[in-house]
Amino acid sequence: GENVEQHPSTLSVQEGDSAVIKCTYSDSASNYFPWYKQELGKRPQLIIDIRSNVGEKKDQRIAVTLNKTAKHFSLHITETQPEDSAVYFCAHTGANSKLTFGKGITLSVRP
């Protein structure tokens, strides 16, 4: 019930295009959905998060949408740049208050 699945596992886009990364979860009690970015050799860092009482949140080129009925949430990056290349982790907090991460998606932005 606490697992979170990420799709796809790798994604390659042309600079300037948009990228969408989707995660699905099964715990209906999940109430917090953060996204973390990990650049090569660096620590994961929070880039955006959303709570279950909100359907969408935007911060400049990054947005997150949440569909509680379908139990999925997505990260949207517009006007991608080479510095967006990294591993992106979705996560969620379920009824047990444990922050559980997905396996990560490697995003490559081609110049």
- Kindly list the residues in this chain that would bind other proteins in the complex (CB under 8 A): 31-32, 34, 42-46, 49, 51, 89, 91, 93, 96-104
φ, ψ dihedrals at 106, nearest 5°:
-90, 115
Closer by beta carbon to other proteins, 22 or else 101: 101
Closer by beta carbon to other proteins, 78 or else 106: 106
Closer by beta carbon to other proteins, 51 or else 58: 51
C-alpha span between 46 and 103 (Å, rounded) = 16
Least Å distance between CB 30 and other proteins?
10
Least Å distance between CB 105 and other proteins?
10
Closer by beta carbon to other proteins, 44 or else 86: 44
Place of tokens 């991608």: 80
Least Å distance between CB 6 and other proteins?
8
Helix (H) or strand (E) holding 56, with range, is strand 56-59
Place of tokens 């949140």: 57
How is residue 25 written in tokens?
């979860």
Place of tokens 């949408």: 65
